[in-house]
Amino acid sequence: MERVSKQQPVNKTAFRILVALSIAHCLNDSLQSVISAVYPLFKDDLALSFTQIGLITFVYQLSASVFQPITGLVFDKRPVAWSLPIGMSFTLVGLLNLAFSSTLHWVLFSVFLIGIGSSVLHPEASRITSLASGGRRGLAQSLFQVGGNLGGSLGPLLVALLVAPYGRTHIALFSILAFIAILVMIPVCRWYKAYLSQVRWQKMSGKAHVEMPLSLGKTIFSISILLVLIFSKYIYMASLNSYYTFYLIHKFGVSVQASQVCLFVFLVATAIGTLAGGPIGDKIGRKYVIWGSILGTAPFSLLMPHVGLAWTIVLSFCVGLVLSSAFPAILLYAQELLPYKLGLISGLFFGFAFGVAGIASAVLGNMADRYGIEAVYNVCGFMPLLGLVTWFLPNLKRK
């Protein structure tokens, strides 16, 4: 167990803590991804429309997004060492409810609880990741993020194996993963408790001091640009996470299980891209990773609606690989702008990402009902072109 000295600052990368956080993120996001993975089952069992599917995503993303910056701000002021297991307990209860939901309102209540669990984990775990990085923040954030992306890719696969053949009640099996996540979080909480003791000692001795790299006006402008980039990224990601399986079933006639495997391919690509984004940003600067990641997705996203099944799978892999490298770079860029508000920034960007995805899912679901599922991808393919606004970001690496 790695412990933090009360007399000396953390100057080494706490890999055991980072690996534990990545595993916890993996387990959490595999549980979160269960919601979208079981959409086809809920649609058939409860006779839901695409608009109602979008509403489920909207309620989930709302609870997972609105509470995140609030959680980050509260824990910036009053850190709680055991916040991570508390949040995971909400997810556990929500999953058990979701397994036996028989009405739309019950489903909405269940996903709301699951969203609260996510709203606690992301800003708090991201904060601890930064603290445990030992200065290698890109590597640490990518390791943390890749755990989430890997978990997000495993969720649909586990649903295809454990839930789709047997029925929705088997969602209850995922509560076992939630309990395992709580056990994984215990050593992280102990390390964080020791770290908080160190910080209190530094404040008492007057050694804690951080500076903003830019003026307040430039900081606000830069954060606004980053939010525009998050907007473009997560509208397109929402089209894939929520409706990719329906698109494959409608256009190519694949089975539900086959569509889940194709979604797994896309999500594995996002895990690989996420792992690469942070370390590359450490070397060449966050701005260039953001620029290449979002704008570089455009050729693949524009081409994908016009090809066959095999090329659709290949292009979706390319989209996941390139686009996913943006988020670690965007989040770290924002944290470097406000280094004394790690929780608030993490909560704001995770929350905004989830919120955009939720609203986009509702809007895109309505669009699919009105104009067809293929229209969603014809329109959303243009979203990565908003990556052009990266031009206006200052280069923090030079500074």
Q: Spell 18-51 as b/e; 16+ CB within 10 A means b.
A: bebbbbbbbbbbbbbbbbbbbbbbbbeeeebebe
Would you state the pLDDT for residue 397? 52
- Residue 107 domain-assigned? yes
pLDDT in tens, 151-167: 777 777 777 777 777 77
Q: Is 9 within the bounds of a domain?
A: no
d(CA 350, CA 16) in angstroms, rounded, equals 24
Identify the CATH number of the domain in which residue 31 sits. Answer: 1.20.1250.20
**373: domain range?**
15-392
Domain annotation covers residue 223 = yes
- Closest to 84 (Cα-Cα) out of 70, 99, 71: 71
Counting residues of the chain whose pLDDT is more than 70, the rounded percentage is 92
Q: Is 8 inside a domain boundary?
A: no
Tens digit of each residue's pLDDT (9 = 90 or more) over 101-132: 878 888 899 889 988 888 888 888 888 888 88
Q: Using CA atoms, how far apart are residues 275 and 295, in angstroms rounded to an integer?
A: 19
Q: 291: closest CA among 382, 395, 379, 217?
A: 395
Please indicate, yes or no, if residue 5 is contained in any of the structural domains. Answer: no
Q: Is residue 127 part of a domain?
A: yes
Look at residue 23 in the predicted model and tell me its pLDDT: 92
128 within some domain: yes
The tally of domains found in the chain comes to 1
DSSP for 92-116, please give it. HHHHHHHHT--SHHHHHHHHHHHHH
DSSP class of residue 163 equals: I
Residues 6+ apart with CB under 8 A from 101: 107, 109, 110, 168
User: For residue 1, is it within any domain?
Assistant: no
* Residues of the chain scoring pLDDT < 50: 1-9, 204-206, 398-399
SS3 content of the chain, % helix, strand, coil (to 5): 80, 0, 20
Sequence-distant (≥ 6) Cβ neighbours of residue 86 within 8 angstroms: 80, 120
